[in-house]
Amino acid sequence: MHMDGKGLRNLPRVVVVVVVVVVVVVVVVVVAEVVKQVVKNISTAATVVLVLVVVVVVVAVVVVATAA
């Protein structure tokens, strides 16, 4: 698919929303698995920070995608 900077705007809104939801779900699942693997090696505080960062990034992506 050719992305020229306005590719998202050319797609139907439903397609954009579905893609964003799928990406968010995949990211959350992957991060959860990674956290489970490394949680024994890092502190609770680090886990909380990691989760907060992920949440902020996901929210930012959703906002940008829906605003596009």
Distances (CA, A) of 14 to 4, 8, 18, 58: 20, 11, 6, 18
Q: Is the pTM value of this prediction over 0.75? A: no
Query: Tens digits of per-residue pLDDT, 1-60?
Result: 555 556 556 667 788 778 888 888 888 888 888 877 777 666 777 777 878 888 898 888
Per-residue confidence (pLDDT) for residue 8, from 0 to 100: 56
Model confidence at 61, pLDDT cuts 50, 70, 90, reads: confident
Per-residue confidence (pLDDT) for residue 3, from 0 to 100: 54
Per-residue confidence (pLDDT) for residue 24, from 0 to 100: 84
Q: What is the DSSP string of 36-58?
A: HHHTTTS-HHHHHHHHHHHHHHH
